[in-house]
């Protein structure tokens, strides 16, 4: 049975829980706290992670964060391009896992893999299911203005994030919090929760409960098209976008600085909404030495930004730069 969801109740360990054989599947930094927690209490017989990939401008081939941590623990690491390739299921079956734990692995598992472990195939999902099934639940919780989110452990099934819920833990979303901070906190909570869940399943303390289909919402993938800050939206919503979408895909304003010249792209890094401050909608303007964007409701104060091809700076430096170029505010901002 799922227990009450609070941050302080994130760990319930079964003192009599036997040492379990775990296959761990995960790839990014979000998965690492769970790997650490399980390694501290149970036998991880194998770690599955995505193959090393070229990343960054230099296309340097790098190991995943999970692989780096697993190797530091001396754990065996497997990196198949696809688990569905010939012979891969047989290798996995030879490990005879009690539980398979999946945390942002990056591959779809076939039914024979889901059915393989003696106890269950368990997933950590970074939302309070059934709200925000899908690829970007942390970002969408913040974009929607949710005040509370959390993590869920659930039984893995073929349908996306639709399995029975085992346990959940809540955390408040800070009023000025950025998505990276929330991501890291949820990762730690997920690590605590997965240990409680697998031990509770082994002891019989936990049983799954079905998700309420009437409360399902979906967190679609983030796209580059989400980058532009549209002044037709309210200041509070634009501020949530800045906090939810940085560093990727980022948030930007597109300015018309001079007639006949291309738009200038300004990356917006930090803002404060002023819902009751009157400002001409659709224009970037100066108010008492601060930089503000007039929106559909109130004004958005822009505190830190990064012009194209330059370093990040505060609004005062940006205003001085405009004056040095002979550019006067207000400036129109692309909408739509």
Where in the chain are the domains? 7-219, 224-332
What's the CA gap between 253 and 248, in Å, rounded?
A: 15
- Between CA 266 and CA 276, with CA 271 as vertex, the angle to 5 degrees is 120
Q: What's the distance, Cα to Cα, between the start and end of the chain in Å?
A: 47
Entry field: residues in the chain: 336
What's the CA gap between 193 and 128, in Å, rounded?
A: 13
Domain 7-219 and domain 224-332, same fold? Reply is no
**C-alpha of 289 from chain center:** 35
- Give the pTM: 0.92
Q: Which residues of 21-45 are buried (b: 16+ CB within 10 A; e: fewer)?
A: bbbbbbbbbbbbbbbebbbeebebb
pLDDT in tens, the chain (336 residues): 344 445 544 455 565 678 999 999 999 999 999 999 999 999 999 999 999 998 877 788 999 999 999 999 999 999 999 999 999 999 999 999 999 999 999 999 999 999 999 999 999 999 999 999 999 999 999 999 999 999 999 999 999 999 999 999 999 999 999 999 999 999 999 999 999 999 999 999 999 999 999 999 999 999 999 999 999 999 999 999 999 999 999 999 999 877 767 889 999 999 999 999 989 999 999 988 899 999 999 999 999 999 999 999 999 999 999 999 988 899 999 986
The verdict on domain 224-332 having CATH code 3.10.25.10 is yes
CATH homologous superfamily, domain 7-219: Formyl transferase, N-terminal domain (3.40.50.170)
Residue 12 tokens, joined? 């319930």
């Amino acid at each position: 049975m799922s227990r009450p969801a609070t941050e302080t109740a994130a760990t319930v360990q079964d003192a009599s829980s036997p040492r379990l054989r775990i296959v761990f599947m995960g790839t990014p930094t979000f998965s690492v706290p769970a790997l650490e927690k399980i390694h501290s209490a149970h036998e991880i017989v194998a770690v599955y992670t995505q193959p090393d990939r070229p990343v960054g401008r230099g296309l340097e081939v790098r190991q995943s964060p999970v692989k780096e941590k697993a190797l530091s623990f001396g754990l065996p690491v497997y990196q198949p391009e696809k688990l569905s390739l010939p012979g891969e299921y047989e290798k996995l079956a030879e490990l005879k896992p009690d539980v398979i734990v999946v945390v942002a692995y990056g591959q779809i598992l076939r039914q024979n893999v889901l059915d393989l472990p003696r106890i269950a195939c368990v997933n950590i999902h970074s939302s309070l299911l059934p709200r925000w099934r899908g690829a970007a639940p942390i970002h969408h919780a913040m974009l929607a203005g949710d005040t509370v989110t959390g993590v869920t452990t659930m039984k893995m099934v073929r349908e996306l994030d639709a399995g029975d819920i085992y346990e959940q833990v809540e955390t408040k979303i800070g009023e000025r919090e950025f998505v990276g901070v929330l991501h890291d906190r949820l990762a730690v909570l997920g690590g605590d929760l997965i240990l409680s869940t697998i031990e509770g399943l082994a002891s019989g303390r936990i049983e799954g409960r079905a998700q309420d289909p009437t409360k399902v919402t979906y967190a679609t993938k983030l796209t580059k098209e989400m980058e532009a800050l549209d002044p037709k939206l309210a200041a509070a919503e634009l501020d949530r976008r800045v906090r939810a979408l940085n560093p990727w895909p980022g948030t930007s304003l597109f300015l018309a600085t001079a007639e006949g010249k291309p738009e200038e792209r300004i990356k917006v890094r930090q803002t404060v909404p002023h819902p009751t401050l009157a400002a001409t909608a659709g224009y970037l303007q100066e108010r008492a030495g601060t930089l503000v964007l007039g929106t559909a409701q109130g004004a958005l104060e822009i505190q830190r930004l990064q012009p194209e091809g330059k370093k990040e700076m505060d609004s005062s430096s940006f205003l001085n730069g405009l004056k040095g170029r002979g550019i006067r505010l207000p400036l129109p901002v692309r909408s739509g």
